[in-house]
Amino acid sequence: MEKIEEFKDYSASEVLYMLKDLPDACCVFRIMTDPFGTVHDMQFIFVNEKYASLVGKPTAELMGATYYTTVANRDEDWIRLSYQAAVMRQSVINRTFNTQFNKWFEFWAVPVYKKGFCAFIIHDVTAEKRKEENQEIVSNSNNLILDCAKVLSTSDFKRGIKATLKALGTKIKADRVYIVESKGGDLGDIYEWTDKKSGTGLPNRKDFERFDFFTMWDKQLLENRVVIVEDTKEIIKKNKEVYEDVLQGTISRYIITAIQDKGETIGYLVADNFSLYLDINLAEVFETVAIFISEELRNYILGQEMQYMSSHDAMTNLRNRNAFTATLNMIEGMKIPVGVCFADINGLKAINDEQGHDAGDEHIREAGAIIESVFKKKYSYRIGGDEFVAIVPQVEKEYFEELVAKLRKKCKKVSMAIGATWQENAENMEEMINTADKLMYNDKAEFYSANNDRRH
């Protein structure tokens, strides 16, 4: 390669002076300008072995040669920066990512010797940059976790869950983030946030009812709290039907974590089609947020159970006297037709005395099941030991009478005394209750009279 003749005019001592205290990979240039003063190339005055290795050329080939004729993987910014350093005598620091080496480099363009000369010092800052990125990732992850914890603790459960799922989904650019409750392995409630644009056509509750996602997820999780499936095509090997019928064309990747309470899985936190380029630790965020969700979900479930217990009978699962009273207070005075039916088990005392209370309890459960099958569970109440009531609002007289007749036909296995009444509106519910109660006792009296038995 032809060398520029001016290179021979510099002594070794002058070159060494220019290189004083220059660390790492380094080189010294004399800039080359056109008549208008624009830098169009640079001549190597000195290169060290580290720089020569970096550009893949021997030092002998580089010395005295020009930048454009020798360096293939060059950084075009160097021409601009060399002008600042060599002509304007300004030091410049820049940091860039080199895709060829998959490394971060920080280079300094500094003025040396005299006007027209500059040195470039190249320092590998990959480890430092990654440390900074890791710190940023940790900070961003912690901030997201804190945001989720705040909305979960300051809002009611459903509002807090919705806000949490939205925060997660927005941050990770997912199509959907959702929670699926597991009630003893059975599908419970589903809470979800979906992206308005891309969150359509995704698997729904019917898909979860058709396929056993819980077992598939449990196998994926095994002893891990979090699993990231980066390509759902891998599901084909284990569950081809789920992939072809549900996932294919809709979900390309997902992350899942178990929501646990005292070692029992009570749900799953899942995100579909999240971005691959995130500035958070996705697995750590999901695992931690799942812990917060588990506490809120456990409390919510406990509250629901307590509410259910306060309004339902434990033996029959029908609504209890508290719910009965609340219903009366709610519909009292409404301008709607309503039917009231009282039912009382005949001969329960004799069953308890002769067959034992277990047999009596089973008789009560059977009676409750019969009433529920006729009037529906939401209208049926057990208000005492052997007493049941059905309050059916917004029902026409003819249809209500058909229901009562149906109840009488079903009372073959479990004999019950029945009394029923209907009104065009729900005014004076207490009077209706008393009327139905009296009719029931009249029916009971006929039963015992027909069976020559005075016992109740």
Q: Is the pLDDT of residue 449 over 90?
A: no
| Across 3-17, 70-84, 410-424, least confident range | 3-17
Average pLDDT over residues 447-453: 75
Domain 5-124 and domain 321-450 have a common topology: no
Q: pLDDT digit string (tens) for 340-362?
A: 999 999 988 888 888 998 998 99
Residue 338 and residue 393 in contact, taking contact as beta carbons nearer than 8 Å:
yes
- Tell me, which fold does domain 5-124 have in CATH? Beta-Lactamase (3.30.450)
Taking phi over 0 as left and psi of -120 to 50 as alpha, with beta for the rest, 442 belongs to alpha
Residue 245 and residue 235 in contact, taking contact as beta carbons nearer than 8 Å:
no
| C-beta atoms surrounding 270 within 10 Å | 21
- At residue 2, the pLDDT reads 47
Q: pLDDT digit string (tens) for 231-284?
A: 999 999 888 999 999 999 999 999 999 999 988 999 999 999 999 999 999 999
- At residue 175, the pLDDT reads 96
Average pLDDT over residues 400-422: 93
Report domain 321-450's class. alpha beta
| Across 181-185, 284-288, 394-398, least confident range | 181-185
| C-beta atoms surrounding 79 within 10 Å | 19
DSSP string, 104-155: EEEEEEEE-SSTTEEEEEEEE-HHHHHHHHHHHHHHHHHHHHHHHHHHHHHS
User: What are 79's two structure tokens?
Assistant: 């021409």
- At residue 179, the pLDDT reads 96
- Which pLDDT band, with edges at 50, 70 and 90, does 225 fall under? confident
User: What are 281's two structure tokens?
Assistant: 């630790």
Share the mean pLDDT of the chain.
89
Q: What percent of the chain has pLDDT over 90?
A: 59
Average pLDDT over residues 98-107: 84
Q: Is the pLDDT of residue 3 over 50?
A: no
Q: pLDDT digit string (tens) for 76-96?
A: 788 889 999 999 999 999 888
- Which pLDDT band, with edges at 50, 70 and 90, does 452 fall under? low
Sign of the alpha-carbon torsion through 424, 426, 427, 428: positive
State phi, psi for 190 to the nearest 5 degrees.
-120, 125
- At residue 12, the pLDDT reads 58
User: What are 112's two structure tokens?
Assistant: 């040396």
Q: pLDDT digit string (tens) for 295-332?
A: 998 888 888 888 888 888 989 999 999 999 999 999 99
Domain ranges of the chain: 5-124, 132-308, 321-450
Q: Is the pLDDT of residue 1 over 80?
A: no
Return the higher-pLDDT residue of 358 and 19.
358
- CA 213 from chain centre, in angstroms, equals 16
Q: pLDDT digit string (tens) for 45-62?
A: 888 888 888 888 898 899
For the entire predicted model, the pTM comes to 0.62
DSSP category for residue 92: E
- CA 51 from chain centre, in angstroms, equals 49
Helix (H) or strand (E) run with residue 26 in it? strand 25-33
Average pLDDT over residues 400-417: 92
Q: With CA atoms as reference, report the closest residue to 395 among 371, 409, 379, 382.
A: 379
- Superfamily of domain 132-308 in CATH is GAF domain (3.30.450.40)
- At residue 4, the pLDDT reads 46
Q: pLDDT digit string (tens) for 114-168?
A: 899 999 999 988 888 888 878 989 999 999 999 999 998 876 889 999 999 999 9
- Which pLDDT band, with edges at 50, 70 and 90, does 17 fall under? low
How far is 42 from 32, CA to CA, in rounded Å? 5
